[in-house]
């Protein structure tokens, strides 16, 4: 599995796209760590991913609030759902003895969510606000 930035992820809002590029880089580091089956790297890249995701969601939510974006509440709920998902993944990675298959499933879940979220919900922000 290879995750990299591509133009179909562009929302058209510069500040959000810049952060998404960094987010995709962090996801890609995590995906690489899983591919190498390196537990230390997996834990480190998940930590970076969580940190950056929380920071990025905060910035995105501020943009939505400032512009009175109509679907803010649903969007924020989705962010919260993802943070809970990452929290569960992190907890399992620390305390459960996961098989490679289980780790790959967690990876797929996180990657799918992030890519779909950018393509659908984040692009919708750009459609409704002008920056």
Which residue has the closest beta carbon to Fe ion?
122
Asked whether the beta carbons of 75 and 69 are under 8 A apart, the reply is yes
Which of 10/122 has CB closer to Fe ion?
122
Rounded-to-10 torsion of CA 5, 7, 12, 14: 40
Which of 32/124 has CB closer to Fe ion?
124
Nearest distance from C-beta of residue 55 to Fe ion, angstroms = 13
Which of 13/46 has CB closer to Fe ion?
13
Angle at 77 between CA 71 and CA 82, to 5 degrees: 130
- Judged by the rule CB under 5 A, the positions of this chain that interact with Fe ion are 60, 122
């Amino acid at each position: 599995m290879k995750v990299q930035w591509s133009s179909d992820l562009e929302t058209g809002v510069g500040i959000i796209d810049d952060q998404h590029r960094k987010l995709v880089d962090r996801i890609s580091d995590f995906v690489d760590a899983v591919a190498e089956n390196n537990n230390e790297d997996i834990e480190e890249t998940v930590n970076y991913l969580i940190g950056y995701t929380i920071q990025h969601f905060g910035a995105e939510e501020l943009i939505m609030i400032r512009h009175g974006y109509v679907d803010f509440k649903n969007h924020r709920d989705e962010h919260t759902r993802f943070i809970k998902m990452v929290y569960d993944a992190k907890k399992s990675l620390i305390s459960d003895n996961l098989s490679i298959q289980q780790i790959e499933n967690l990876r797929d879940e996180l990657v799918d969510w992030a890519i779909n979220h950018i393509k659908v919900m984040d692009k919708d922000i750009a459609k409704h606000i002008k920056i």
